[in-house]
Amino acid sequence: MIFRLTERLLFPNPELAEPDGLLAVGGDLSTERLMLAYQTGIFPWYSDDTPILWYSPHERFVLFPDELNISSSMKRVLNSNRFKVTFDKCFADVIRACAAVDRPGQDGTWITDDMMNAYILLHEQGYAHSVEVWQNGDLVGGMYGVAVGAIFCGESMFSKVSNASKTALISLIKTGKYKLLDCQVHTDHMESMGARMISKKEYMAMLQNG
């Protein structure tokens, strides 16, 4: 059953999500609603031609820091000082670059203007964070997401040159701030770096324990 949200700041039980993870429709992208969603294992994922859709997958694709797989070639890239990495220096530029990047098999982007504005506000309030990767003074890669305690909910990443987004991801994990990177849904790219599926029950336990 898919629930329709009202103005009340309330979500249904995530266990009631459809097999594909779809839980609810409607509501808004206020800071209060977004943070309540992330704190209860829910995230928005929709496009310009649909209402706001809220998901809570029954399995979660995650990366534990001690399971991070860094290839030999990637280690050479990291040791080469090819890139400079910063944190929270230009969040808005990162999310706009993530929205603009071409993704094979996708028609357009799910990072709508409303979504960008909402997450920029989340950043200004200290909830959302970005990693920036620079080369010769140019922003060539990065990622952004939402921190919920010691869990970083990764939203999107981009790369204008080879290995830039991987550098952002590895740099985030190596800060030691997070016990889990929530990738939300499966990608071959993240699987190659060590991400794997866990049950919703396991994910929710980690979320509640901070």
Tens of pLDDT, residue by residue over 17-49, are 999 999 999 999 999 999 999 999 999 999 888
Domains of the chain as residue ranges with CATH? 3-57 (3.30.70.3550), 61-208 (3.40.630.70)
In this prediction, residue 185 carries a pLDDT of: 83
- For residue 141, the surrounding DSSP H or E stretch is strand 138-148
* 3-5/22-26 β-pairing: parallel
- Asked whether residue 61 carries a pLDDT value surpassing 50, the answer given is yes
Q: Whole-model pTM?
A: 0.93
State what percent of residues in the chain have pLDDT above 90. 88
pLDDT band at 108 (very low <50, low <70, confident <90, very high): very low
Q: How far is residue 53's CA from residue 31's CA, in Å, rounded to a whole number?
A: 16
46 CB burial (10 A radius; 0-12, 13-18, 19+): middle
